[in-house]
Amino acid sequence: MTGNGEYLLEKVVERVGDLPAMPAIVAEVLHLTDDPYSGMGQMSEAIQRDPALTAKILRVSNSPYYGMRRYVGTLKLALVILGMREIRNIVLGISLFDALRDESTEALLASDFWHHATRVAAFSKKLGSRLELGMQGEDFIAGLIHDIGKLVLWRQLPGTYVALFRASRGNREELRTLEKKHLGFTHADAAAVLGIRWNLPESLTDAVWAHHPGSKPLSKTKDPKLAAIVRIANLAAEQKPSAPAEETLLACSDEEAWGVLSSSPKPIGDCERQEVLKGFFAELSETSEPFF
């Protein structure tokens, strides 16, 4: 962890209190993924001790938003097709939501929070595939959890944060301004702190931290391309798909992010950006939204 990360951790914890502990299954899955001597059998055995988690993994894998080309009916088959790292990423995304979901956060989840999270996840996945970045689920999961800091703050500071959230009237830029003014940090910072506390892969933590311009320079992230596609996906998901053709999507104008992606195996040219993103809009409009 960098000195900046340590400072942020202390600052957020001082304001919001103790963060949720990492579930035992997450710690075990992270350990198994990092252990060169462990295999799919051990991973499968560990996860299947939690039937609810197993069912959610299969729902994510088979979601049209995730983009699998074939139906996966068992965890073992999912592991064979996707691999241990990709299943690990799905477990991390599911577990983060499960750890923060309680009666107090249901109101936030009932707003457009989940709609936005799943759209950003789908946009990230599509963009990663289009650029041929060879991601192993990091694109989808980083997009899915990018706003997890809002759940942290809603849960930990129910009175204060709910008031800030409502005062923003759904304007995400206004919410960040209010967060910075009244808390001294943003929901992106809070999400990064949870990632640090849980010892999540640095690439995921950094992508969540940098999903807004100005949060963290992409060049300072562990995986700049992952962080860049999540930022673009977040901006794209906020746009209206019915915008006039001549109106430039905000996501097309983030030159820092597109500059990072210019060295991708299959880069998207300046003139193609709007067409590609609008194509994603069209594809998602024909797909039912998942809920895990």
> For 129-163, what is each residue's pLDDT tens digit?
999 999 999 999 999 999 999 999 998 888 899 89
Query: Mean pLDDT across the stretch 220-242?
Result: 90
Amino acid at 182: H
Spatial contact of 266 and 132, defined as CB atoms under 8 Å apart: yes
Predicted pLDDT of residue 241: 58
Q: Please provide the DSSP assignment of 195-264 as one string.
A: HHHTT--HHHHHHHHTSSTTTS-GGGSSSHHHHHHHHHHHHHHTS-TTS-TTSPPGGGG-HHHHHHHTTS
The pLDDT of residue 265: 97
Measured distance between the N- and C-terminal CA atoms of the chain, rounded to whole angstroms? 31
- Is residue 56 classed as helix, strand or coil in its secondary structure? helix
| Whole-number pLDDT of residue 75 | 95
Q: Maximum Cα–Cα distance for the chain, whole Å?
A: 55
Give the residue-averaged pLDDT of 225-237.
Answer: 95
pLDDT at 247 over 80: no
Across the range 212-239, mean pLDDT stands at: 93
Quick check: 87 pLDDT over 80?
Answer: yes
Q: What pLDDT was estimated at residue 1?
A: 46
Among 105-109, 205-209, 245-249, which stretch is predicted with the lowest mean pLDDT? 245-249
Q: Is residue 52 within 8 Å of residue 191, measured between CB atoms?
A: no
104, HSE (Cβ side, Cα atoms, 13 Å): 15
Mean pLDDT over residues 111-129, rounded? Answer: 91
Contact in structure between 135 and 128 (CB atoms under 8 Å):
yes
**What are 160-174's pLDDT values in tens digits?**
998 999 899 878 889
Give percent above pLDDT 70 in the chain. Answer: 94
Exposure string (b/e) for 7-45, b if CB count within 10 Å is 16 or more? ebbeebeeebeebbebbebbebbbebbeeeeeebeebbe
Opening angle at CA 247, ends 241 and 251, nearest 5: 65
Residue 22's SS3 state is coil
> 173: closest CA among 234, 240, 260, 127?
234
- As given in the structure block, the two tokens for residue 53 are 């988690």
Q: Binning pLDDT at 50, 70 and 90, where does residue 240 land?
A: low
- 200 contacts: CB under 8 Å, gap ≥ 6: 92
**pLDDT at res. 11:** 79
The mean of the pLDDT values for the chain is 89
Please tell me the least confidently modeled range out of 68-72, 129-133, 274-278. 68-72
| pLDDT attached to residue 286 | 79
**How would DSSP label each residue in 111-127?**
IIIHHHHHHHHHHHHHH
The pLDDT value recorded for residue 262 is 97
User: Are 19 and 194 within 8 A, CB to CB?
Assistant: yes
Distance in angstroms (rounded) separating the CA atoms of residues 251 and 232: 5
DSSP code for 110: I
Tokens, residue 200: 């999540």
CA dihedral 71, 74, 75, 77 (to 10 degrees): -60
Domains of the chain in start order, with CATH, are 3-17+103-285 (1.10.3210.10)
Residue 218 near residue 224 (C-beta atoms within 8 A): yes
pLDDT digits (tens, 9 = 90+) for 2-57: 556 566 767 787 888 888 888 999 999 999 999 999 999 999 999 999 999 999 99
State the average pLDDT over residues 68-94.
93
pLDDT at position 243, please?
A: 55
